[in-house]
Amino acid sequence: MTAASAPAARLRGPFVLASSSPRRRDLLAQIGLVPDVIAPSGIDETPRPRELPAALARRLARAKAEAVAAAHPGALVLAADSVVAAGRRVLPKAETEAEARACLALLSGRRHRVHAGICAVAPDGRRAERLVTTVVAFRRLSEAEIAGYLATGEWHGKAGGYAIQGRAALFVRFLAGSYSAVVGLPLAETAALLAGLGYPVPWVATNGC
């Protein structure tokens, strides 16, 4: 986590979420936070050559936050990115059934990691960021189960080709870390990060208040 060492003043001004993800909006609402503005960054999310999954999640969260902060001066901007990794391999946000099928076949019967990068930029330019890694293990999936899941359409646009908050919950035999991070946003870490910058979060002590 990086931030200026000086105590943070209680933040005023709009709260901007640099994401169009309805899952992230719902997760924030779950802890009593409602963004004033939804502003997707539109940045290129293509991994760099030989870029490791955790580094990719960090870089994209930071790039999204900084891009949106530049367009919304005086606001507190929160950005996040989730990367599903099988070893050193970054799995795509599945756009076709073939992509989703390949992801599920790869994840079947093995553990994988979900790296969630979060970054916030305060109105005065201070930045704070975290990386949260969760280990998820799928049981072995049959061809019929994969085909049945593909028919739901839940996989579309999801990193790794699945949505843990949906029917893919049936595939998970083990999880170590943050469930909400796998859904889209690690709530405990996000709340602490925002409070550390001085933003009022229900039930969380705010730095400088």
CA dist 102 and 91 (Å) reads 9
> Tokens for 161?
């080709």
CA dist 126 and 37 (Å) reads 20
**Identity of residue 136:** V
Active site positions, annotated? 81
User: Which residues, 6 or more positions from 81, have their beta carbon under 8 angstroms from its beta carbon?
Assistant: 45, 56, 57, 60, 61, 64, 116, 117
Strand partners, 79: 119
- Pairing type for strands 172-176 and 15-17 reads unpaired
Asked if residues 119 and 132 have their Cβ atoms less than 8 Å apart, the reply is no
Asked if residues 19 and 40 have their Cβ atoms less than 8 Å apart, the reply is yes
